[in-house]
Amino acid sequence: MKSYTIPSYDGFAISVHEFVPQLANNKTIVFAPAIAVPQKFYFHIAQFLTDQGCNVFTFDYRGIGDSMAENIKSLKNHGFFSWAADFKEVSQYIKKKLPNNKQYMIGHSYGGNSLGFSDAFQYYDKCLTVASQFGYYKFFKPKMKLLIQVNFRIFVPVTTAILGYYPSGWFGLGRSLPTKAAKDWAKFLLRPDSMLSFSNEYNSTFYENIKNKILLISIEDDLFAPKKSVDILGNRVFRRAQVTRKHLKPADYNLKKIGHFDFFRKKNQNILWPIVSEWFELS
């Protein structure tokens, strides 16, 4: 595994890890992380795919994991669009590095949604998303509806005003976030049009242009991405893409739980990861 940085659109250093196969199959896979989740969370599945011959890359959005600034407050004006631009720069860099490879992406939660926040989709031949969703909170279960409203209507504006950033870890939501990223997350969850509301506000999203083959995976016990919200993502947001839907129930795999994160945990290597291998035709 190689570790290095590449400059994003504004020169900000983005941390990248590259997994190099012993016997390459001319396929590249890039991981787009969930909000506040560092790239190292995906290292085990990245190695699994590398062992099957893929060139695999992980990265951190600015302000997360190894792509940190000296002071997170200095990134207060960077949110979903900055992260999507980081993803685009990484995608473009990797395509230039391995131009003859088929290039695939795996997006976790926001990572899958970010396909439309820039035109990075143009670099991918095929995509797979896990727990990416149309995020409007009213599609969530009652307890989550309450938690989302309290957190994003009260705690996000209060903590960002006082601290200059959002301390996600205080609320069990991963690494701390720049102010704008936290406020964009609030818009994504609280507005009825979710990510499509950004199209109206900024006129700079690309969901209508996405025609890629995409496998959208939802998980029965995922409190952060209910099945209905993933269905809407496919039907309304990625409506011009070639969408395939797959809904996972833990009991069907003799598992007690999967939730929002366990798809990527090493304990499920032989149970769930073959879904990825099959979609990208690795075996």
73-84 tens-digit pLDDT: 999 999 999 999
* 87: CATH: 3.40.50.1820
Q: How many alpha carbons fall within 13 Å on the CB side of residue 279?
A: 25
Tell me the β-bridge partners of 3.
17
CB 226 within 8 A of CB 141: yes
Task: Judge whether 44 lies within some domain.
Answer: yes
* Burial letters 219-235, b for 16+ CB under 10 A, else e: beebebbbbebbbbbbe
Confidence grade of residue 202 (pLDDT, cut at 50, 70, 90): low
Confidence grade of residue 199 (pLDDT, cut at 50, 70, 90): confident
Q: How many alpha carbons fall within 13 Å on the CB side of residue 127?
A: 30
Tell me whether strands 27-32 and 102-108 are parallel, antiparallel or unpaired: parallel
What is the number of other CB atoms lying within 10 angstroms of the CB of residue 13?
15
What is the rounded distance in angstroms from the CA atom of residue 237 to the CA atom of residue 126?
17
Instruction: Return the structure tokens found at 55.
Output: 């060139």
Average pLDDT of the chain to the nearest whole number: 96
Task: Judge whether 196 lies within some domain.
Answer: no
From 273, 280, 207, select the one nearest 53 (Cα to Cα): 280
**In angstroms, how far is CA 163 from the centroid of its own chain?**
26
Task: Judge whether 26 lies within some domain.
Answer: yes
pLDDT at residue 140 above 80? yes
Task: Judge whether 81 lies within some domain.
Answer: yes
Is the dihedral angle over the CA atoms 36, 40, 44, 47 positive or is it negative? positive
Instruction: Return the structure tokens found at 175.
Output: 């690494």
What is the rounded distance in angstroms from the CA atom of residue 225 to the CA atom of residue 179?
23
Task: Judge whether 158 lies within some domain.
Answer: no
Determine which helix (DSSP H) or strand (DSSP E) holds 35, and give its type and residue range.
Answer: none
What is the number of other CB atoms lying within 10 angstroms of the CB of residue 240?
12
Task: Judge whether 236 lies within some domain.
Answer: yes
- Overall average pLDDT of the 102-116 stretch: 97
Task: Judge whether 260 lies within some domain.
Answer: yes
| Residue 39 structural domain | 2-135+204-279
Summarised one tens digit per residue, pLDDT across range 45-99 is: 999 999 999 999 999 999 999 999 889 999 999 999 999 999 999 999 999 999 9
- Overall average pLDDT of the 133-158 stretch: 95
Structural domains of the chain, count: 1
Neighbouring residues of 125: CB distance < 8 A, sequence distance ≥ 6: 102, 103, 104, 212, 213
Task: List Cα–Cα distances, 56 to 49, 109, 110, 213, in angstroms.
Answer: 7, 19, 19, 19
Instruction: Return the structure tokens found at 65.
Output: 């994991």
Query: 239 in helix, strand or coil?
Result: coil
What is the rounded distance in angstroms from the CA atom of residue 196 to the CA atom of residue 200?
7
- Overall average pLDDT of the 153-172 stretch: 93
Task: Judge whether 142 lies within some domain.
Answer: no
